[in-house]
Chains A and B, each alone.
Chain A
Amino acid sequence: MSTYRIHGATGEWEVVIGLEVHAQVSTNAKLFSGASTAFGAEPNSQVSLVDAAMPGMLPVPNRECIRQAVRTGMAIEAEINAWSRFDRKNYFYADLPQGYQISQLYHPIVGEGSLTIEADEKAGIPEDKVIGIERIHVEQDAGKLMHDQHPTMSYVDLNRTGVALMEIVSRPDMRSPAEAGAYVRKLRSILRYVGSCDGNMEEGSMRADVNVSVRKPGEEFGTRTETKNVNSVRFVMQAIEHEARRQVDLIEDGGTVVQETRLFDPNTGTTRSMRSKEDAHDYRYFPDPDLLPLELDEAFLAECRASLPELPDAKRARYEGELGLTPYNARELTAEVETFARFETLLAETAKALDKNEADVATQVANWSLSVAPGVMKSLGDEGDAAHATAARQAAILKMQDAGEISGGQAKEIFERVLREGREPEEIAATEGLKQVSDTGAIEAEIDKIIAANQDKVEEYRGGKDKLFGFFVGQTMKAMQGKANPAVVNQLLKDKLG
């Protein structure tokens, strides 16, 4: 149970949140035309006759868009509707050439599903929580109006017109900005795993309509507002905070919340009214007569299912259960596709190099991947070239470290040189003197000298002053110019000091 509350003059208020996420389907071609979908092209350079709604043009569904929507539905364990249909949503606007958007109101392709957001104490999410997803439907995106190109006219760019979107509609199951943020992040992670959307909110390939209402805990849902087109996780959370506060203040001042569409202003973190329910369009939805119902056969569904990768929850569970990683490491490593992909490659490479099971090296590789390697890369900044950091080279470093040939500090130093110079780790270690001495003879010789020179301290240590052990280690390491294997040093010192 979320304990997030708005503190009002009349007591505490609970916020109720539902999200409609629009995710651009990752395909090369639009939903109903063959035009390209690449981002950032010259205005109106990716517009087919269909997109421009020329007379007599007809939509033909793009199979890949349908496939990605179905795979996404399967990834949230949703009901897949083998029979669905496209409807027209009619309204006039300059960025909508047909005068209607082809969408799916009555029979969406994906029905009821859910996803789980993970417990995060710090964010006020005490335990894992299942968020219901009502449906996913497929629809066309609109074009873009540009108001800053001409003193009196607006320009229209139709490149985005007709691009396939999935609208993923949650249940009003979230109770805090943090839960909403976690939901969007989790959803984005799933979409990226599946490969159905790149989840890039800055480029607009994922954006959210945020439905917010407030109520006294335990009471009925209040009237909700819908804040449109919010395009980052942070903004989603800000919009909720602001909107919930605004509604509480409004109600406590004797007003009532009106059902309306609102806009989020990222500069101020506030929302403002766009149009009220009374001004709402009558979209006159009806089945698109240019398109037959979409019927998915078993073979198609089976292919969709077979092509699904291991999904975030399953992967996290495996990292903890089979690889023995900490919950924190497992969560960090599975959050993004790039992260786990790099990790798994390095894990395989390292296990091979060490001739061990993956589970036996997983913790070492996880620590390297999450903390050591990013730290070195960050400190180098532009001076390092990440392309030099191949899995083979990193595995070579981990192997030397595992064998005790190099220390943790030397591993970092070697990695730094790899990034700067693109050289091989073994060669760096050999030629740059970056190897630690595990030769017991050499270390013993130094230890003997130190014991001889510090008899008084030896007596004190033997008399029970354990703290002095560190002194001997320090002296030995110093004598070895820091290149002695600490484990060997420790062992020898223990033996000799008795």
Chain B
Amino acid sequence: MPTDANSLTDLGVREIRDGVAAGDFSAREVAEACNAAVASAEALNAFIVATPEKALEAANAVDAARAKGDALGPMAGVPIGMKDLFATKGVQTTAASHILEGFVPPYESTVSQKLWDAGAAMLGKLNMDQFAMGSSNETSYFGNVASPWRKAGSNAAMSPGGSSGGTSAAIAARLCPAATGTDTGGSIRQPAAFTGICGIKPTYGRCSRWGVVAFASSLDQAGPMARSVEDCAIMLGAMAGFDPKDSTSLDASVPDWFGNLDADLRGKRVGIPREYRMDGTDQAILDSWDMGAQWLRDAGAEIVEVSLPHTKYALPAYYIVAPAEASSNLARYDGVRYGLRDLPEGAGLQDMYAATRADGFGDEVKRRIMLGTYVLSAGFYDAYYTQAQKIRTLVQRDFEAAFEACDVILAPTTPTASFPLDSLNNDPLTMYLNDVFAVPASLAGLPAMSVPATLTAEGLPLGLQIVGPAMDEQGVLNAGLAIEQRAGFTARPDRWW
């Protein structure tokens, strides 16, 4: 068994927790190795705050529990990163914004608490797009995150995707075996695809939103990101569960997803949505999609064509619903009770609001607040918000109809591979198109995951997306596992950081 620091950071969730349980190495050794990896990777800017002492403390507790013969949790000894959208008690939580800079919550989010209860250890708070708004991790107040991947023969910094870009970069760079992400319109799946890792957004309501800084409440969903399907299954099991503190939480038991992983897809039908063959999609993406279908056929599945006729309206509808909710959710950052307060000399309440919010929010956040405010305004509400909600219903019905004909849907995760940082900054619409394949499942609240498929000719990862019916994370994970086994994706970025 590997015991040197480098090989410890190569291990996944299952390998670490089993190795710790078996006594092959201590949780402390793993935590130290990951702490060192985090400390040596500042060039990636994946973490906003590192908490090495917390990682050690939790690792020591696991080692002590093991020594006493206590039962160990499903994540025991696994150091993870925590996206900075999750409130962590006593540790700064900013959603990568200036307006929350220095904010230290006196409470712990349900999901992070469940992970600590399962034995996981916190390496730090991961960088992200500000308030989870972005697809490139360039909207963080704390600077861009650089992907560990680069195009062959180029030194240009590439985007790790977003908004969970700190998460994807840290996992791909082997700073941690797994980390939390959140997905509102692709924020787990797109960065996973860009960095050659796995990530699953479960059914809306599986993971509690309590203590997660809200972007768009009806869409926000936490999920795990890791380097393998089984690691995602283990970690999702630790994160999910009914929470009476979240009214939209699903009151359903959490299946043993890891225990029921099964890549044998005989008797399963995999749907290929006709409308996802869009203009402007890279040929490499289309090729990987065909390849994915072939892999699933190899695993025993029948491939069927399905139709999701309202797909082209999904992205516009998303960019009405999500900003509308965001414009309201972000109203609480007003300088009155916590976070940034700009109080110019002689200013009144309105001036304080204006100054605080002008200074505290980044451009993309402001853009979405303005969009959302506009679409909810008197005279525009019906034309935008009401219409968008109707589209949302139609998109949901599309999926319901499609799942009459198939068990899971296979699609590309993104229309392109990663792009260089700064290349799309002045083109928000093209940036938004990154999530064109991801957004429909978000609008429908369905479980969806991205698994790595292959590398482009330039050496950048591509992912494939599997979408399942509500509550069927197992079907999604199983199809993901079938792809993973056949893709044989072992590529890793060359270390430059």
Contacts and interface: CB of A to CB of B under 8 A. Distances in A.
Interface of A: 49, 52-61, 88, 90, 92-94, 97-100, 154, 156, 282, 284-286, 289-292
A337 B209 CA distance: 44
Contact of B376 (A52, A55, A97, A286): A286
B295 interface: no
Nearest to A100: B328
A94 B332 CA distance: 10
Interface stretch (B169-177, B213-221, B488-496): B213-221
Contacts of B90: none
Contacts of A92: 331, 334, 350, 353
Given A55-B87, A290-B248, A49 B332 contact: no
Contacts of B324: 286
A59 B247 contact: yes
Given A90-B328, A290-B217, A292-B248, A52 B381 contact: no
Contacts of B376: 90, 284-286
8 closest pairs, A vs B, by CB?
A99-B331, A284-B376, A289-B217, A289-B218, A53-B332, A56-B211, A55-B213, A290-B217
A282 B328 contact: no
Given A92-B334, A99-B328, A286-B385, A55 B103 contact: yes
B419 interface: no
B65 interface: no
Given A97-B337, A282-B377, A284-B377, A55 B247 contact: no
Contacts of A154: 349
B92 to A, nearest CB: 12
A54 B331 contact: no
Contact of B109 (A56, A97, A98, A291): A56
Given A90-B328, A99-B331, A284 B373 contact: yes
B95 interface: yes
Given A56-B209, A56-B210, A292-B248, A94 B109 contact: no
Given A284-B376, A291-B247, A88 B107 contact: no
A210 B350 CA distance: 28
A100 B211 CA distance: 19
Interface string B101-137: 0010111010000000000000000000000000000
B349 A94 contact: yes
A282 B379 CA distance: 10
9 contacts: A55-B103, A56-B86, A92-B331, A99-B330, A99-B332, A284-B377, A285-B381, A286-B385, A292-B248
Most buried by A among B100, B211, B377: B211
B244 interface: yes
A292 B246 CA distance: 10
B448 to A, nearest CB: 20
Given A53-B337, A97-B336, A290 B247 contact: yes
A60 B350 CA distance: 30
A286 B384 CA distance: 12
B209 A58 contact: yes
Nearest to A34: B245
A425 to B, nearest CB: 56
